[in-house]
Amino acid sequence: RKMYLFVSAGGSVLAVITMGIYSTLLFTSTLAFVLLVCCVDHSCIHTWAFLMQMLWQTFWHLLIQYREYYLHEPVSIRLFLAVSTLMLLTQRITSVSLDLQEKRGVLTPSKRQACVTLLPLISYILNFTTLLGGPLGSYGQFITLMEGINLTSPPRPLGVVFLKLMQVLMLEWVRFYLVYFLKYLIHDFNPGILYGILSTWCLGLVLRIQYYSHWKISECLNNAAGFGFWEDSSGDYFSKWSGLSDGDFWTTEASICMSQFTRRWNATTASWLRRLVYARHKHFPLFMCFGFSLWWHGLHLGHFVGFFTWAATVKADHHIHRNLFPNITPTQRKIYTFVNWINTQMVVTCIVIAVEFRNLSGLNLLSKTYIGLFPLVNIILRPSALLYTKVF
């Protein structure tokens, strides 16, 4: 049990150092969930845990908006970090509560064993390797990895960690030159449409690279601590250390359609949303999933526009790809793939800028550069694809 104690203590210390007084947000959620596990029947624990965690998280999101938009006060970076970490705690807590409700895991079989079985749970929630940046792994995977550390340690990850850190440096090098290029474009501003679309695409790519670097650093931290090695996985040694990964730059950016990009982007969160929302709703599961994602992210104006645009373009992509792709020649498919990749890049750029800017400034940028027309064209093409299928 020393490893569990070390992991949870490390997470607690990291939270206090980085968030100060706002670390109590995390400790409150953890304590409340532990009490639920001990006191609530596991057949309905997910409903209680879900409502408790989302209401607690939403309160702090709305408080930030109140300070920003109504009081016009600067918000502490520690509070932003605490709320961002609280979102990751919501993933882990609801994941465990679903496991318990679906009887995939058993906790606290008796009062005598309560402390022994709750320590791994607290360690999973406050794990210092995933506290600030994820990725999300299941509780069962966490226990397996922890027991693996105790019994048979995985191979040394130093080589893999070094290579992944080199990838981070490369990504940051690309981001640095993209920012330099953007400053050059702004200095020599040209009002042309293509000029505006190119600069906005570069800005969207800069914002996405920040996520890729963040995920890769989190992956390195987990690998260095011995997490993320799957001995049964196929592939080379490097691939075996990718058990906890939120996305790879080259694979994700090479997506040729919105549905493919959606599955690859922030992969562990996408799997969590699929299990938590998409698979549990028979009516409008796609829009329910993106609607919940909007709630989980904080309910800013840019989030409303970004996530519902995302849902609409994924839905349109399903219809367009299913109805047009089988009816075109191999040569046309190559052209279709290239055009669709460009289209995916433009639509993703619109979504990222709307979500990241959060307010009207991002929407104004999209309207001035005309790049915001790409999602609209995708949505309009959906009925056209249906008509094409009926005619031909």
Which positions are catalytic?
Answer: 266, 297
Helix and strand counts by DSSP (H, E) for the chain: 17, 0
Amino acid, res. 7: V
How far apart are the C-alpha atoms of 92 and 134, rounded to whole Å? 10
Q: Is the dihedral of CA 177, 183, 189, 192 positive or negative?
A: positive
Q: Which has the closest alpha carbon to 4: 146, 100, 149?
A: 146
Q: Does residue 219 contact residue 244 with C-beta atoms inside 8 Å?
A: yes
How far apart are the C-alpha atoms of 360 and 343, rounded to whole Å? 23
> What are the tokens at 381?
């093409």
Cα end-to-end distance, the chain, whole Å? 66
Contacts of 2 (CB under 8 A, 6+ apart): none
How far apart are the C-alpha atoms of 185 and 196, rounded to whole Å? 9
Question: 3-class SS at 84?
Answer: helix
How far apart are the C-alpha atoms of 103 and 320, rounded to whole Å? 40
Q: Which has the closest alpha carbon to 352: 337, 372, 370?
A: 372
The position carrying tokens 């400053």 is 183
